[in-house]
Amino acid sequence: TRVEFLDYEAVVDYGWSLDDDELFRKAGQADLGPDAHGRLLVHPDESLLEAAERSGFAWPFSCRGGACANCAVYLAEGELSQPTDHIMPEDLAERGFRLSCNGYPLTDELSVVFNVKQRPELDDLIL
């Protein structure tokens, strides 16, 4: 699975919105560093977080077991699995929030914003 990623810090810095359809196009035109915006590949049987780490990126995480939301990402495109053993509330999942530590790609392409743990709606979930 091919993943285009974007750091939520950049979304905040530029005053962009997560539900902006043009978000990744804007990111492509901004002068962002390779850690903030780019692409990576997820191998079969690899979680999104594992793939990011293998690719040399330091995305946030803590428990690695679906219990804390430090690893949360926002899915702009594609689908990432959500194992039953997780703390992400239904309403946030419906809005596209997923956990990268135990999320496995279900589509060939994904666009994700990582580092969304600082979003206020995720505050209560961070342990």
- Which of 35, 62, 78, 89 touches ligand FES by CB under 6 A? 62
Q: How far is the CB of 64 from ligand FES (least distance, A)?
A: 5
Q: How far apart are CA 25 and CA 52, in angstroms?
A: 21
CA distance 98 to 76: 11
Q: Would you count residue 63 as binding ligand FES (CB under 6 A)? A: yes
Q: What is the DSSP string of 40-75?
A: EEPPTT--HHHHHHHTT-----SSSSSSS-TTEEEE
> Rule CB under 6 A: is residue 67 a binding residue for ligand FES?
yes
Q: In this chain, which of 10, 99, 113, 122 binds ligand FES, going by CB under 6 A?
A: 99
The residue number with the shortest CB distance to ligand FES is 101
